[in-house]
Amino acid sequence: MVIKQRKVAPILKELNRFYVDSDHTCRGPYFVDLAELGGNGQCDCDDFRFKVKAYEIPDLIEKGYWNRCKHIVAAVNLKALIAVRHDENKKL
């Protein structure tokens, strides 16, 4: 399985907000807010707005499912990596 690397940039002083690059060069980065929709996260990409968000997200979250586009997943992965590194630095 090949995983595409995306440029993900945290927004300074905004713990849960990120800019995530698009696959398309004609589009700027997408805005991702991980605190939205009960922790599911929200993205301004077309895939999330028209496909993913079309499902009833609160119902899915209650059932234990997440409804995320690839930009939200990339932001979640970076946030987890930042948390792990921060925890490791505290141990030193």
In a domain, 42, yes or no: yes
Q: What is the 3-class SS of the chain, one letter each residue? A: CCCCCCCEEECCCCCCEEEECCCCCCCCCEEEECCCHHHCCEECCHHHHHHHCCCCHHHHHHCCCCCCCHHHHHHHHHHHHHHHHHHHHHHC
pLDDT in tens, 45-70: 988 888 766 665 666 666 666 678 89
Is the model's pTM score more than 0.85? no
Position 1 confidence tier, pLDDT thresholds 50, 70, 90: very low
Considering its fold, how many domains does the chain have in total?
A: 1
Residue 29 belongs to domain spanning: 8-91
Considering the domain boundaries, does residue 70 fall inside one? yes
Q: Is residue 65 part of a domain?
A: yes
- Give a yes or no: residue 1 inside a domain: no
- The whole-number pLDDT of residue 45 equals 92
